[in-house]
Amino acid sequence: MRKSSFNGESSFQYKRGELFCEDTSISQIADEIGTPLYLYSNRALIDNYERLKGAFKRVSPLICYSLKANDNLTLCRILAHLGAGADIVSGGELYKALLAGFSPKRIVFAGVGKTRKEMELALREDIFMFNIESRGELELLENLSSELHRKTRVSLRINPDIDPDTHPYVRTGLKQNKFGLQMEKAEELYLKLRDSKNISPKGIHFHLGSQITRIDPYLKCVDKMAEFISHLRKEGVDLEYMDMGGGFGIGYRGKESPLDIEELASRIAPLIREHELKLIMEPGRYLTGNAGIMVTQILYRKRGKERQFLIVDAGMNDLIRPALYGAYHEIKKLRQPSKTSPMEVIDLVGPVCESTDFFAKDRNLPRSAQGEYLALMDTGAYGFSMASSYNARPLPPEVLVKGEKWTLIRRREVYRDLVRTEAISLEEKNVIPSYTIPFVKLQGTGNDFIVVDNRANLIKDPGALAKKVCSRKEDVGADGLLLLEESQKAYFKMRIFNPDGSEAEMCGNGARCIAQFAYLKDIAGRRCTIETLGGTIRCQIQGKKVKIGMEKPRDLRLNLRLSLKGEIYEGHYLNTGVPHFILFASRVEEVALEELAPLIRRHPKFRPQGTNVDFVQVTKGNTLKVRTYERGVEDETLACGTGAVASALVGSLTCGVSSPVRVRMKGGDLFIYFERGKDNNFSQVFLEGEARVAFEGKISEEAENV
């Protein structure tokens, strides 16, 4: 495998027959969250930045990362923390740059079509520099600066008319290109700016193009700009900065050499120092290109009359570079082929209805089977940032790998995202046919729930609907109605409504069921987060088993004494997302639950919200038998996830049970995992049990309008 990172070793290597990113198996990630997906190496990103910084250390450049290459907030934040600035070309990129943590004092604003609104926003943020492309743009900026009483720093972008020997579509420094100013016009503007009250000419800017792998074009341009700067200084325009743009090429093909950044630095640094200039550069691809890959899965093999096709689940909407530029990306199997693996010549194509929807043509690759994963290498730049939802295809997720850990840094879009900003015109609303609402009934260790995807806000009165559909004698019947809704904090939000119409803060078994629902409906992957009224929880799915990470328990009160009908009952109170009062008994089957639990549930000590009530028996080993009376249901339930957790944690404090605890309930077994610290504190609390589909159906129009 070719070497491409700063430490001489690629972050993507085969280990034990599988392709790894750093120390993480890429196949395991694909199995959990599905494909297509983008995946990035934290180490490669940092190494690339440190290499560039080290090469030019003699001139201490301002390295402004070009957000157009990849504007993921997490990747941008990593670079901002390393000390990078930002190169932006729009108001949206300015917004994201500030959100990611780039200092305004390290932001340069380029682009040929800056709008008045974008300029005003950048002026109010007091960014470091504007790179000006035309006389009209400069005049508008000067007027705005006057209105806002600002002294604005600018560089003029020069079109040097130098061929960088790269793809025609990414050349930007030739006279026929739309970018920059001819030197004669630039000189006129520089001389005019000598007396400006609101514009301060600070530098000169050029950008030759993208994916440049030879140093000669840069050397020619730096020489040309240095000579021009010397001329301007004689005319009284004393420039401080030379912004050489970016475009530093990487090696996309196995034997293709990237730009020799050390050689470039050794040749340019003396010129910068000789002319007493400060250097700015705007790399994008060089920092993120080889730090990322796109993973896709083979859907079908198809033999045409003259060609063999592998059809994958990624399309040109996910990665447009091959269709747009004829760009080359190496293709690797996630399962390492042997030296004797048979080879075949294939076209790798996607599902989009365009003939240009391909990633490779006539490519000689080890034979691959339907269902296998493939990696398209070096897609960290101009991959996701150029993706679209063409053919109504939701955008893929993005993952960051750091050693043995990985994090989802952008969730996969779902169908609802495709229409998030759309609205139906008033003229059309009355002619839309009525529809029913689909639901799935799931069962989690004895608790059953009706689950509805409510991201379109179709449910008008969820409390009233819960009262109707949860009735076991009159309707579907369930322990609760679960609504899956949009969230700004997590993959989605769970709202739970009890059969009496009240809304609960949290339900452990309900959370496991809605996580299974989200996975089965392709709303989330095997790992996800859920926002609840009781806090945000983490979920992991393995077949029918669902494991959720609970919020940190709170409000612990041990040995709490209650007076009930003249008798004293001692128990323990703990909130595990919802409140629970736990009483231990020698035989829970003999407890008068129907008599005692309602009195405890509404006891004055638990007003105003009341409490759930759990009767707990310690049996052999780390096993508990639990019966739970649940508020809202107002009856004993077959199982209660938060009750099982509360019982296990209190059992650890009072009876010495240790993790994992098996909790036996009428509906089945649940397993509780936790770490117990000092001062009765718990962390890493998990609830695990089965969650499976009982049946699917549709809620009638009559029920919808409740």
Question: Would residue 61 count as lying in a domain?
Answer: no
Question: Would residue 64 count as lying in a domain?
Answer: no
* Predicted pLDDT of residue 64: 98
- The domain boundary residue, chosen from 283, 308, 335: 283
Specify whether 442 is located in the same domain as 495. Answer: yes
Query: Which of 4, 97, 2, 9 lies closest to 285 in space, CA to CA?
Result: 4
- The domain boundary residue, chosen from 283, 315, 338: 283
* Predicted pLDDT of residue 678: 82
Q: Which of 353, 507, 528, 640 is catalytic?
A: 353
Tell me the CATH number at 451: 3.10.310.10
* Predicted pLDDT of residue 706: 47
Specify whether 294 is located in the same domain as 276. Answer: no
Q: How far apart are the first and last CA of the chain?
A: 63
Specify whether 674 is located in the same domain as 586. Answer: yes
* Predicted pLDDT of residue 704: 47
Question: Could you count the other beta carbons within 10 Å of the beta carbon of residue 472?
Answer: 11
Specify whether 79 is located in the same domain as 219. Answer: yes
Question: Which residues of the chain fall short of a pLDDT of 70?
Answer: 1-9, 161-180, 255, 424-435, 701-706
Tell the residue number behind the tokens 């002619």, with chain if given. 431
Count up the domains in the chain and report the number.
4
d(CA 7, CA 12): 13
Q: 696 near 441, Cβ under 8 Å?
A: yes
* Predicted pLDDT of residue 205: 94
* Predicted pLDDT of residue 522: 84
Query: Which of 175, 199, 176 lies closest to 189 in space, CA to CA?
Result: 199
Runs of H (alpha helix) within 321-446? 321-325, 415-418, 426-429
Q: 404 near 24, Cβ under 8 Å?
A: yes
* Predicted pLDDT of residue 168: 53
* Predicted pLDDT of residue 165: 59
The reply to whether 539 belongs to the active site is no
The domain containing residue 321 runs over which residues? 13-41+290-413
* Predicted pLDDT of residue 8: 46
d(CA 53, CA 62): 9
* Predicted pLDDT of residue 178: 56
pLDDT in tens, 511-555: 999 999 999 988 888 889 999 998 899 999 988 999 999 888 999
Specify whether 152 is located in the same domain as 268. Answer: yes
Tell me the CATH number at 229: 3.20.20.10
